[in-house]
Amino acid sequence: MSAGDNVRNELSEIGFSGAKYTRLRTVLQQARDGVLAADWRDHLVTQYDGSDPRLRVQADAEFTALTALQNMPPAPWEPGEAPNWKAALDSWYVTARNLHGEYFLSNMEQMCKQLAVGEKILRLPSESGGLDQGYVIGTVADADRMRDKGRRLHTHQYIVERTRLTAYYLAGLAAGGLDVDWVSWYRAEAATWPEDQPDRARVEQGLTRAPFRAVMQKLPGYWRAPTP
């Protein structure tokens, strides 16, 4: 396999992971908000122009991802598929968490590959002078900071979304009548995030507003009353 084939395969894997995550994440949020159509699979359409050679890899990856979603067996979190709201909510949470974790691991795998490439680049120069501070500070350290920034960003985004999904699950339990103080839990979790992160302020401020809490603490009608 040529180097070009390796690059195309890697781009295809990245494209598939991204397309699957983006589309299914949207579908799951619609399901949780009570607005998912029962025939949602029929409304999945491609966004890339497969006839454009420059977008062929992305288009093929997206098509593969959409086909996988369309062939998914019906799940309890879909409209009218669960015997009760608890089964639907549990299914939704597990599916959403698994999807998010899978996407995060895919991103981390790519970053580990970048790290491996970066470390391989660091070699003693062929010149007899060896390393110098200009090279170490200007090239090596700069690349280190860029990779570190990317890992921190993805890790923080993973934590924020994971926490949001858990808060939505706990809020669903409360909406179902269980005694769950999800607001205090969510506020305490957000308080552990860096103070300079906008997500922290967004959650902390949102939890003080009744409409924000109401959006989360509700259950879809089709979870409460499954179709016979």
Asked if 65 and 44 touch (Cβ cutoff 8 Å), the reply is: no
Mean pLDDT of 141-154: 81
Q: Give the contacts of 75 (CB within 8 A, at least 6 positions apart).
A: 81, 91, 95
171-214 pLDDT tens trace: 999 999 999 999 999 999 999 999 999 999 999 999 999 999 99
- Evaluate if pTM is beyond 0.85: no
pLDDT (0 to 100) of residue 111: 73
Q: Would you tell me how many other CB atoms lie within 10 Å of the CB of residue 20?
A: 21
Q: Nearest CA to 32 among 75, 89, 94?
A: 89
Residue 2 half-sphere exposure, CB side, CA atoms within 13 Å? 3
